[in-house]
Structure 1
Amino acid sequence: MTGLTQEIMYAAILEKDTSFEGVFFTAVKTTGIFCRPSCTARKPKLENVEFLYTSKDCLLKGYRPCKVCRPLENLHETPLPIKQLLEELHADPTRRFKDWDLKQKGIEPHSLRRWFLKNHGITFQAYQRMFRINSAFKKIQVGNTVTHTALDTGYESLSGFGHSFKNIFGVSPKNSKAQRIIDLKRIETPLGTMYACAVAEGVCLLEFTDRKMLETELKSLCKLLNAVIVQGENEHFKVLEHELSEYFAGKRKSFNTPLFTPGSEFRNRVWQALQQIPFGTTRSYLEQAKAIGKPEAVRAVANANGMNRISILIPCHRVVGTDGSLTGYGGGIWRKQWLLNMEKGAADSTSEM
């Protein structure tokens, strides 16, 4: 894999660097076990290690998956009982799961609280409240009365409903018509967890959760749309998750998920040009500038690429330096390398059929 040396990969496992997840696996010759880069088990000596790029390669060479880091599972993947709990909540946001309900499902409330704090930054109870308020907001937006909405979403008093509503949206329910809501969902991928945001028009953000500019992007979206971002379901998420799953499996080369890209005319021209780069290929920034009829605007094109909020679907990872070198990528250079290698491999295998 271009750009990755043994020294870089060994340094990554010593530092338990999660940004290399999905890029390579550490296979230990002396134990016959393979691990993910961030494994917390004791680190082997460099001479006892070989680095392999797929779990399939590891298994074919006779290595067993580590019981500590479980390399065959997605990093931070939601446990099945929690997935099922969330599916029930998404189907009916008015439901209230109490500790007794959780225990009946075999879920320890304290463990659930810790998992949500670690992966969502809020407790499960707060997550439930957000879903209910999200549902209420949408009901009011389509014309339901505040009183009817409060009762329909499980609130016992109008004052309690109004207080919860204002805490999240900053306005009272009756003054919320001028505001929008942006739905937020956590999506797991082989390269780590991503956040997806969507409005009625389409998906407006898809980023890896460790992207440094993520908070800035979220604030920018809220300002552009006069909106508040809240955990919630959206009709576009199901399509997005299905298509992403096919993409990461090498079975999808283009996307049909509706996109919404608020921004200047110039930036939208750049983002549209990105979507014209064929799967499995790359272009330079100069080629991109020429593609939009602005060969002199290479730097502006590069800046617009960096402002892209929708990773993968608007494939800014397919743009490289004039000499073919990998340039900056918000999700990390290593993810960019993985995506390009995966796409090229999938494109090559298709052309050989």
Structure 2
Amino acid sequence: MLFPMPPSDTLYQALLDRDPAYDGQVWVCVASTGIFCRLTCPARKPLRANCSFHDSVAACLAAGFRPCKRCHPLAPMAAGEPVIQQLLAALDQDPARRWGEPDLVALGLDPSTVRRVFKRQFGMTFLEMARHRRLREGFTTLASGGPVIAAQLEAGFESASAFRAAFARLLGRAPGSLRQDALLRADWIATPLGDMLSVCDARHLHLLEFMDRKALPAELARLAKAAGGEIGLGRFDPSDQIRAELARFFAGSSARFDTPLALHGTPFTRQVWQALRAIPPGQTRSYGALAQDLGRPQAVRAVAQANGANQIALVIPCHRVIGADGALTGYGGGLWRKQRLLEIERGYRSPPPGLAPDRPQA
């Protein structure tokens, strides 16, 4: 088990409330139907006497239960929404398309429903996501030495001012201010859970964040100030190393990250980050347990603040910290990502002696 299971009565109430806090952590098996579901399943709620709870999909399958066809417990949480699957596929097919609400209506979709579903799952609307995808094309052009006007056209912006404003909202700085000879260089990395931005110098990784994180512009500004230099575009050796390690992580071959890190924080904050790195893949800790491990049992709030200040996602695995009751709690990259990361890392758990390790679910 990744965490002590809360009492069954607590989990049953979460099932009644469709509480998303336990997604990716607990599933319910319903004896009367022979199926298992997420606690957020929209189906009619079963009687308490017919419910049992398990901490893994494998346990539900081993008990003889079939996956629910309404909440899709074998799929990542975000993929359970048909409208998300439809629009993400359309975005992949034509990333340069300039999407608007009329395009959604033409597909037979209600823009307000699309906005609500994407905001709930990703923390941004579909139209914002489409703009991010277009900006990636412009970023790539700039990083390869292309002029701003070429990047603007590659990103599908007719207006130079609109391109500059969109770029500044995303990265906190205008495209023309990002030099290729800067001591800190940013690289755009596509992953199965969304685009990420790495910032490295010639020897260390300073930042790794999901591009849609609201705090990213402020983090970049603090980093530039702390490092005493501007941030430009391009790659160093650590940029290539973290890109390769992320590819292996998402491919299911390795959860090991050896890229050298530059840690910007107080001594206590860095101590918390080191404790996070000591949590094995496939396991979790509560804030209280981390405080105990550090010999500071009264410093739970300070541990939580240090966890939230982490700006090197995945490598410093703040996603492995959950609530004392097993709830996922907050995550800057979104709870849906936290749930999916924990699902992936179940495949990296150390098995009991004599058993083969689990493999990450597709």
Q: Secondary structure at the match of 1:38?
A: coil
Q: CA deviation at 1:270?
A: 3.9
The equivalent of 2:61 in structure 1 is 59
Q: CA deviation at 1:11?
A: 0.7
Q: Secondary structure at the match of 2:49?
A: helix
The equivalent of 1:268 in structure 2 is 270
The equivalent of 1:314 in structure 2 is 316
Q: CA deviation at 1:161?
A: 2.4
Q: 2:249 aligns with which of 243, 247, 266?
A: 243
Letter in 1 for 2:8: Q
Letter in 2 for 1:314: I
Within a 5 Å distance, the mapping from 1:128-207 to structure 2 comes to 128-140=130-142, 143-155=145-157, 160-169=159-168, 174-175=176-177, 177=179, 188=193, 197-201=196-200, 204-205=208-209
Within a 5 Å distance, the mapping from 1:35-184 to structure 2 comes to 35-77=37-79, 82-88=87-93, 95-96=96-97, 108=107, 110=109, 114-115=113-114, 118-119=117-118, 120=122, 121-124=124-127, 126-140=128-142, 143-155=145-157, 160-169=159-168, 174-175=176-177, 177=179
CA contact (8 A) 1:32 1:62 kept: yes
Q: CA 1:307 to 1:123, structure 2 compared with 1: closer, same or farther past 3 Å?
A: closer
CA contact (8 A) 2:249 2:255 kept: no
Q: CA 1:237 to 1:45, structure 2 compared with 1: closer, same or farther past 3 Å?
A: farther
Count of residue pairs the alignment pairs up: 308
- Decide which structure has the larger Cα Rg and report it: 1
Return 5+ residue gaps in structure 2 as ranges. 225-229, 232-238, 357-362
Q: CA deviation at 1:39?
A: 0.8
The equivalent of 2:359 in structure 1 is none
Distance 1:144 1:74 in 2: 37
The equivalent of 1:18 in structure 2 is 20
The equivalent of 2:360 in structure 1 is none
CA contact (8 A) 1:25 1:55 kept: yes
Q: CA 1:318 to 1:28, structure 2 compared with 1: closer, same or farther past 3 Å?
A: closer
TM-score by length of 1: 0.63
Q: CA deviation at 1:204?
A: 1.9
Q: CA deviation at 1:44?
A: 1.5
Q: CA 1:146 to 1:329, structure 2 compared with 1: closer, same or farther past 3 Å?
A: closer
RMSD: 5.1
Q: 1:224 aligns with which of 222, 232, 255?
A: 222
Q: Secondary structure at the match of 1:67?
A: coil
Q: CA 1:270 to 1:326, structure 2 compared with 1: closer, same or farther past 3 Å?
A: same
Distance 2:354 2:316 in 1: 23
Q: CA deviation at 1:166?
A: 2.4
Distance 1:299 1:264 in 2: 16
Distance 2:141 2:76 in 1: 36
Q: Secondary structure at the match of 1:204?
A: strand
Q: Deviations over 1:214-273 (max 9, x none)?
A: 75x446414314699xxxxx9756752641462xxxx645335x4766522523354235
Q: Secondary structure at the match of 1:346?
A: coil
Distance 1:122 1:326 in 2: 29
TM-score by length of 2: 0.62
Distance 2:298 2:52 in 1: 46
Q: CA deviation at 1:75?
A: 0.8
Q: CA 1:164 to 1:307, structure 2 compared with 1: closer, same or farther past 3 Å?
A: closer
Q: Secondary structure at the match of 2:306?
A: helix
Percent identity for Structure 1 against Structure 2: 25
Letter in 1 for 2:65: Y
Distance 2:49 2:135 in 1: 56
Distance 2:220 2:165 in 1: 16
Return 5+ residue gaps in structure 1 as ranges. 189-194, 229-233
CA contact (8 A) 1:184 1:196 kept: yes
Distance 2:328 2:71 in 1: 29
Q: CA 1:96 to 1:3, structure 2 compared with 1: closer, same or farther past 3 Å?
A: closer
Q: CA deviation at 1:54?
A: 2.8
